[in-house]
């Protein structure tokens, strides 16, 4: 968040990221994590140019028998920042009809902007049938990353993808494979080192 507060982002930047779950921030009680999540998403949206977009990949969790809907939290935060939801894609983590435990069989891929709007003719599929390969257990799937990049190329002025929670750099590597510049921020030195060297041989369509 310190980096986001100081960042200067132009119309040529877009933010694509996945915020850590409460299980990854064990020093926070659940309500503190929830507040941190909403505050961070709102900050990220507010730092972008009006015509730029923020795309978030998040997977819900079940906590003590209660469903934690991160799509709802994203909407709360974006509304605070004055951003509107351009699209909400469901990314299948498991085939339809499969029962999963702890986490649902889908993830959210949601795109927000303050000023950019899309015509009906610019619509794309609302359900991605597969997550794609994952470079590590907490990564965005490659298919989800590629979908975000295709949207950025077709509908925004983005030239640089920013991931302030980049992990080992999956989104950065996919962005570079799609001919974007990429900037990542990561607290873990070990993960940051992996992010600096991660390269993916993708067939870009």
The CA-atom distances, in angstroms, between 41 and each of 83, 145, 151, 168 are 11, 19, 20, 20
What pLDDT sits at residue 203? 60
The 10s digit of each residue's pLDDT in 58-92 is 999 988 888 999 999 999 999 999 999 999 999 99
Which whole number is the average pLDDT over 7-31?
Answer: 93
What pLDDT sits at residue 8? 86
Confidence of residue 118 (pLDDT cuts 50, 70, 90): very high
Mean pLDDT of the chain: 94
Return the residue matching tokens 């795109």.
111
- Res. 204: pLDDT tops 70: no
Q: Is there a contact between 155 and 11 (Cβ–Cβ < 8 Å)?
A: no
Question: Domain residues of the chain, as ranges?
Answer: 2-197
Which whole number is the average pLDDT over 90-98?
Answer: 94
The 10s digit of each residue's pLDDT in 136-190 is 888 899 999 999 999 999 999 999 999 999 999 999 999 999 999 999 999 999 9
Confidence of residue 205 (pLDDT cuts 50, 70, 90): very low
Percent of the chain with pLDDT over 90: 84
User: pTM of the prediction?
Assistant: 0.95
Closest to 135 in 3D by CA, of 62, 44, 197, 187: 197
Cα angle, residue 118 at apex, residues 117 and 123 outer, rounded to 5°: 155
How is domain 2-197 classified at the CATH fold level?
Answer: Rossmann fold (3.40.50)
């Amino acid at each position: 968040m310190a980096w986001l507060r100081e960042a200067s982002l132009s119309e040529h930047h877009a933010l694509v990221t996945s915020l850590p779950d409460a299980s990854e921030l064990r020093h926070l009680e659940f309500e503190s994590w929830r507040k941190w999540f909403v505050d961070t998403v709102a900050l990220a949206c507010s730092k972008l140019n009006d015509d730029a977009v923020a795309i978030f990949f998040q997977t819900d969790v079940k906590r003590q028998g209660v469903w934690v809907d991160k799509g709802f939290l994203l909407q709360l935060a974006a509304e605070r920042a004055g951003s509107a939801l351009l699209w909400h894609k469901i990314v299948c983590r498991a085939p339809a009809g499969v029962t999963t435990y702890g986490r649902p069989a889908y993830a959210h891929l949601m795109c927000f902007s303050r000023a950019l709007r899309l015509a009906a003719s610019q619509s794309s599929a609302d359900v991605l049938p597969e997550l794609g390969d994952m470079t590590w257990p907490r990564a965005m799937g490659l298919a989800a990353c590629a979908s975000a990049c295709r949207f950025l190329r077709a509908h925004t002025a983005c030239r640089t993808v920013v991931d302030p929670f980049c992990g080992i750099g999956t989104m950065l590597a996919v962005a570079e494979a799609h001919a974007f510049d990429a900037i990542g921020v990561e607290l873990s030195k070990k993960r940051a080192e992996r992010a600096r060297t991660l390269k993916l041989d993708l067939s870009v369509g």
